[in-house]
Amino acid sequence: MTNSYSLAVLGGDGIGPEVTSEALKAVLAAAEIFGFEVDRTDFALGADRFLEDGHVIDEADIAELSKHDAILFGALGDPRVPPGVLERGLILRLRSRLRQSINLRPVRLYPGVRSPMRDLTPERCNLLIVRENSEGMYTSEGSTLWRGENRAVALQESVNTLEAVSNVVDFSFRLAERRRKKLTLCHKTNVLVHAGAMYAEAVERAAAEHPDVEVDYVHVDAMCQHLPLTPERFDVVVTDNLFGDIISDLGATIQGGLGVASSANLNITASGPSMFEAVHGSAPDIAGRGWANPMAAILSGALGLAWLGEPDAAMAVEHAVARVLTRLPALAGPAMGHSTEKVGDLVAAELQTHPGEGPDDALTGSVMGVLHGLRPARA
């Protein structure tokens, strides 16, 4: 029987739809080559819709999106819309309502891509940042007393539930077990003693269940030194929401920038679809010109294929991207010298001509090959 996947496509604003259609091109090419079907539905949400009738997202949209196996997401944000309406009102709401409690960001230097860290080689830079995606400092819990007065007090609380912390830690151990068997907790346990202890204890408990995984701990401030200088020290890095936001941007820089930084928002409970998106935003400054680099979106599409259970297709897309980048390293950066569509065509053509072609050594141990093993069956 042919596997068939329903894919919700939410291109969003600015360059979102431009890069998403190139990601879709790669996904559909891979589907044809590897013999599965992708049934897509487009969702017109974002700035245009908001400006037309004030609609951001409602329960009916969420129910409709929930019916899909996965969501391919572009980006949201538009200078015509007040900040926060789309970012908080749509993206954060979606991640929360669809229980996408884990954010996965591969930090991988592809051959040929120039890292700002001089002398860094692909062999030394291949790690995964696993970020708690639903709580911590990002729940908006807190209060302001005496706002506008000289004695004003702002309280911003970090919310950490044992359930979410255990989930992200367990997921990270299972991921590490399928890779180089090395897990690093990144936190600030010496100062954030309550949340820190909850993470440290969850790691200790999980470590007992995964004795084959080597465990390491690094404070988040020290991480900002170690990650650029010795990324080879890390394989799977598990961290909370705020620290993950910060160190994954650092990771994106080390791996060559926003042009190649991909991500997955994972629902690990089987209660809803996961969502795959480039790390970059809607880039209104270059929207509509055909200049946007689609590599990060294409790699995010590959993460989606991996999660859905098409690891060969996912790896083939990643290899196609890597081979195109090796030939044309400028395609890792913002000033590509080629149009968005042309780059998408190059990747799709590479996929067609070398579909099953294996990785060079630097590409073994890809997250694309192991992700499907961590996905619970959908009810």
Contacting positions for ligand NAI (CB under 6 A): 15, 19, 75-77, 87, 91, 258-259, 277, 280-286, 292-293, 296, 334
Region of residue 257 (left: phi > 0; alpha: psi -120 to 50; beta: else): left
Nearest in space to 235 (alpha carbons), one of 218, 219, 222: 218
- Report, in Å, the least distance between residue 19 CB and ligand NAI: 6
> For the chain, what is the radius of gyration of the CA atoms?
20
- Report, in Å, the least distance between residue 123 CB and ligand NAI: 26
Q: Are 296 and 276 in contact (CB under 8 A)?
A: no
Nearer to ligand NAI, 92 or 159 (CB): 92
- Report, in Å, the least distance between residue 255 CB and ligand NAI: 14
Q: What are phi and psi of 213, to 5 degrees?
A: -95, 125
Nearer to ligand NAI, 78 or 135 (CB): 78
Nearer to ligand NAI, 207 or 330 (CB): 330
Q: Please, which residues bridge with residue 75 across strands?
A: 12
Nearer to ligand NAI, 71 or 362 (CB): 71
Give the residue ranges of DSSP H helices in 105-261.
162-177, 193-209, 220-229, 241-254
Give the residue closest to ligand NAI by C-beta: 77
**Distance (Å, rounded) from C-alpha 235 to C-alpha 133?**
19
**Distance (Å, rounded) from C-alpha 296 to C-alpha 20?**
10
- Report, in Å, the least distance between residue 87 CB and ligand NAI: 5
- Report, in Å, the least distance between residue 317 CB and ligand NAI: 17
- Report, in Å, the least distance between residue 79 CB and ligand NAI: 7
- In what side-by-side order are the strands of the sheet with 70-75? 37-42, 4-12, 70-75, 274-278, 262-266, 102-108, 126-132, 236-239, 182-187, 214-219
Nearer to ligand NAI, 77 or 112 (CB): 77
Give the distance from CA 148 to its chain's centroid: 38
Nearer to ligand NAI, 170 or 277 (CB): 277
